[in-house]
Structure 1
C-alpha cells in the first residue's frame, strides 16, 4: 500500500505531524505579538488598531472560515484541506513582511487567518477517529502543545533571530518554511465517500450547520462546556497585551521580557497541554462528568495565582508563579474540553463542531476581547489613569476564572442526566 494512502496505520506519526504543523501555525499567528513594540512603533498603530490586528482580524476571517473549513473536512479529504490551508497562510505570512500600512497588514493577516482556519477542525476529527475515547484527551492535549510551543517560539524568535533580521525578514522566512511543509502534505490521500466500510460524510454546508445547531440546542452540557471554553480564552486576549503592559507599566526591557514570556509559555504551556490531557483522561474514568469536573479543579487552583500576578511586584516570586499559572491553565483545559466536545457529537459533525467552537472563541474572546482591552485601555489612559493596562487585564482575568462555574454546571448536568460522551467509533484505533 503506497505511503500516501497508508498513513492512518500510524496514529502516533499522524499526531506528531499534526503537532509540527500546529506549532508552525501558532508561530505565524503569534509572531505579530512578539514584535508588537516594533510593529506598533514603525506603523504608528494605536492600542485599538493593534488590538484589532491581534484579535478582530481573526474573527473576520479565522472564526468564520473555521466553520466552512470544518464542513469541507467532514465531507472531503481532511489532508488536502489542511495542505491548502498551510499554503495559504504561509504565503500570506511572507506577504505580511512587506506591509507598509495598517490596512495592508490587516489584509495580509485576514488571509493568514483564513488558511489557519483549516487546521484545527480537520485535525481534531482525525485524532478523534484514530484514538479511543479513553486516550482521546491525551492525544488532543498533545496536539495542542502546538499552542504554547508556537507562542513560546514566536517570542523567542522575535527576541533572538528577529532582533538581527527585523520583523519583516522574519515574516518572510516563516512563510517560505510553511510552503515547504505544505507540498508533501498535499500528497497524502483520504477518501471521505459513502462506499461500504468508509465513514459517513457530513452534509453540504448549510445542511451541516443546521444539523450541528440542532445537536447543540439539545445538549446543555455541550453548551456549558463551549461557553466556559470561550471565557478561558480571555487569557489569550490578555497575552496579546502582556508585553506592552510589562514594558509600559512595569518598566521591563522589551527584548528581555519577550524572551521570558516565550520561555514560560513554552515550558508551562507545554506542561499544561500534556498534564491536562493525561490527567483529564484518568479523572474521567473514575468520575461521572469527570473531564468537566477536572477542569473546575484546574481553574480553582490556578485562578487565584493569576490574579495575584497582576498585583505582585515585578520580579517577585509571586509575580513569576502567577505568570506560570497563566501559561499553564488555558492549555491544560484544551485536552479535556475538546475531549468532551468531540465525544458529545456524531463523528460526521466533529470538524464542523470544532469550527463552530473556534468561531465562538474568536468572536467573543479573541476579537471582542482584544478590541475591548485596547479600546478601554486607550480611554482610561486619556482619562489620566496611571495603569490602564493593569486595570483591563485584571478584569479579563476575573472573567476567565468565571469559566470554572460553567464547567461545574456542565459536570453537574452530565451527572444528573447520566450523559456520557459518544462511545468510541468502530474504526477508532486502540492506540
Structure 2
C-alpha cells in the first residue's frame, strides 16, 4: 500500500501542477490530455499484461521492485523536461514502471486472504490511489507552491529509488511450482486470458463495468482546469481543497467499499457485482447535480465528494471479484488485461477526447466548453451500473447452477 501510494503521487503530480505545467510548456488541452491519458496506454496498458505474465511466472516482489526503480528514475527525469516531447517520453517510462505493481500485488492479496476478507484487503491496498491523488494535490499546493513543480519531481524520484533498492531483496521463488500452477510465456498466456474472459460472462461484464466507472477519472483529469477556468477558483487554493477532499472521501470509499462488499456479497444474489451496481446508482444523482449547482452550494461539494468516493469504493469489490474468478495461474495477467482495458478506453481515449472536444468548443466560442463535456463523461461512467447488473445476473445463474449440481441424487 505504501508503494501504491508513492506510485499515485508520482502519476498524479501532473494533475496537481496542471495549470503551471500547461503554462510553462505552452501545452494545448489536447497535448495535456495526451500526457495524462494516451501516453499511459502506449506504455502502462501493454506493459501491465507483460508484467502480469512475468508475475505469474517469477518472483512478484522483484517484478515490483524493478518497476519502482524504473518509474522513480523517470519521475526524476520529468523534472528536467523542457518541451512537450521530452515530458511525454519521461511519462511513457514512468507508466512502464508503474505497470509492474498492481497485477502482481492483486494476485498476492488474493492468495494471502480468504474469500470473506478479500474485498477489505483489496480496499486497503487501493487506498494508495486516493492517498496518492490527495497527497499529489496537497504537495502541489504546499511544497510545490514554494519550490516549484520541477523540484517536487526531483524529490519524488530520489525517494522512489531509495525504496526500490532494498525492495529487491524480498524473495519469492515461483520456479518451484508445478507447471500447471505457473503462467505460460507471454503470448500463450495472453491468448489463454482472452479465451477465459470471453467465455466467462460474469468476469467479462465485471471488467466492462470496472472500465466504465474509470471515466470518472477522465473527467477528474480536467476538474482543476474546469474549476479555475469556468468556476473562477484560485489554482493554488483549489489544488489544496481537491487534495483534502480526495484524500478523505477516496480513502473512505476504498475502506467502506471493500468492507461492505465482504459483508453483503453472500447475501446478494449477484454477489459483489450487485453491490457495485447499487453503489453507482446511489452516487449518480449527486455526481450529476454537482455540474449544475452554484459553487457555493453545499450540493456542489456533496457531488464532488460522491465523485471521489464512487470509483474507489468499487475498487475493492471489483478487484476481489476479478481475481477470484480468474484461474490461479493467470490472476496477474487477467488483472493486467483489466488495466490495459482501463487505460485504453478510460484514460487514453477518454482524456484525449475530452481535451479535443473542449478545444473544439473553445474555438466555436462556447462560454463553458468543459462543463458539457464533463457531464457527458459522468453519464458514461454511471452507465457502468448496467454492466455490473449483468455481471450480477450471470453470477447468480452460476451460483444457482453450482447449487443444483451439488444436490444429492434421489
Instruction: Report the 3-state secondary structure (helix = DSSP H, G, I; strand = E; otherwise coil) of the residue aligned with 1:255.
Output: helix
CA contact (8 A) 1:66 1:358 kept: yes
The Cα of 1:81 is off from its aligned counterpart by 0.3
Query: Match of 1:71?
Result: 53
Query: Match of 1:125?
Result: 107
CA contact (8 A) 1:193 1:200 kept: no
Query: Match of 1:288?
Result: 269
Q: Is 1:30 aligned to 2:18, yes or no?
A: no
Q: Is 1:352 aligned to 2:352, yes or no?
A: no
The Cα of 1:420 is off from its aligned counterpart by 9.5
Q: Is 1:403 aligned to 2:361, yes or no?
A: no
**Structure 1 315/395 Cα, relative in aligned 2: closer, same or farther at 3 Å?**
same
Distance 2:365 2:268 in 1: 51
Instruction: Report the 3-state secondary structure (helix = DSSP H, G, I; strand = E; otherwise coil) of the residue aligned with 1:250.
Output: coil
CA contact (8 A) 2:44 2:96 kept: yes
- Give deviations 1:38-85, integer Å, cap 9, x for gaps: 000000000000000000110000001000000000000000000000
- Give deviations 1:97-120, integer Å, cap 9, x for gaps: 000000000000000000000000
Distance 1:385 1:190 in 2: 57
**Structure 1 343/165 Cα, relative in aligned 2: closer, same or farther at 3 Å?**
same
Pairwise CA RMSD of aligned residues? 1.3
Correspondence for 1:112 among 76, 94, 104:
94
Distance 2:184 2:20 in 1: 46
Query: Match of 2:129?
Result: 147
Unpaired runs of 5+ in structure 2?
A: 403-410
Distance 1:131 1:364 in 2: 31
Q: Is 1:170 aligned to 2:152, yes or no?
A: yes
The Cα of 1:281 is off from its aligned counterpart by 0.6
Equivalent positions of 1:78-227 (< 5 A) are: 78-195=60-177, 200-227=181-208
**Structure 1 391/181 Cα, relative in aligned 2: closer, same or farther at 3 Å?**
same
Instruction: Report the 3-state secondary structure (helix = DSSP H, G, I; strand = E; otherwise coil) of the residue aligned with 2:27.
Output: coil
Count of equivalent residues? 402
The Cα of 1:315 is off from its aligned counterpart by 2.1
- Give deviations 1:164-196, integer Å, cap 9, x for gaps: 110000000000000011011100110002457
- Give deviations 1:115-148, integer Å, cap 9, x for gaps: 0000000000100010011111110011000000
Query: Match of 1:4?
Result: none
**Structure 1 45/290 Cα, relative in aligned 2: closer, same or farther at 3 Å?**
same
Distance 2:262 2:70 in 1: 35
**Structure 1 247/337 Cα, relative in aligned 2: closer, same or farther at 3 Å?**
same
Correspondence for 1:312 among 293, 300, 303:
293
Distance 2:369 2:158 in 1: 39
CA contact (8 A) 1:192 1:199 kept: no
Distance 1:274 1:418 in 2: 27
CA contact (8 A) 2:268 2:275 kept: no
The Cα of 1:418 is off from its aligned counterpart by 2.1
Deviates more, 1:210-219 or 1:70-79: 210-219
- Give deviations 1:394-425, integer Å, cap 9, x for gaps: 1000000000011111101111232799xxxx
Query: Match of 2:216?
Result: 235
Correspondence for 2:2 among 13, 16, 20:
20
Q: Is 1:334 aligned to 2:315, yes or no?
A: yes
- Please report the TM-score for the alignment, with normalisation by the length of structure 2: 0.96
Instruction: Report the 3-state secondary structure (helix = DSSP H, G, I; strand = E; otherwise coil) of the residue aligned with 1:377.
Output: helix
Query: Match of 1:47?
Result: 29
Distance 1:41 1:193 in 2: 51
Query: Match of 2:346?
Result: 365
Instruction: Report the 3-state secondary structure (helix = DSSP H, G, I; strand = E; otherwise coil) of the residue aligned with 2:266.
Output: helix
Distance 1:38 1:233 in 2: 25
CA contact (8 A) 1:156 1:262 kept: yes
Which 4+ residue blocks in structure 1 deviate beyond 6 angstroms? none
- Give deviations 1:299-342, integer Å, cap 9, x for gaps: 11101100000111012100000001000000000011111101
- Please report the TM-score for the alignment, with normalisation by the length of structure 1: 0.92
Distance 1:215 1:280 in 2: 24
Distance 2:147 2:337 in 1: 38
Unpaired runs of 5+ in structure 1?
A: 1-18, 422-431
CA contact (8 A) 1:128 1:136 kept: yes
Distance 2:339 2:313 in 1: 17
Distance 1:192 1:344 in 2: 21
Correspondence for 2:355 among 374, 396, 418:
374
Query: Match of 1:425?
Result: none
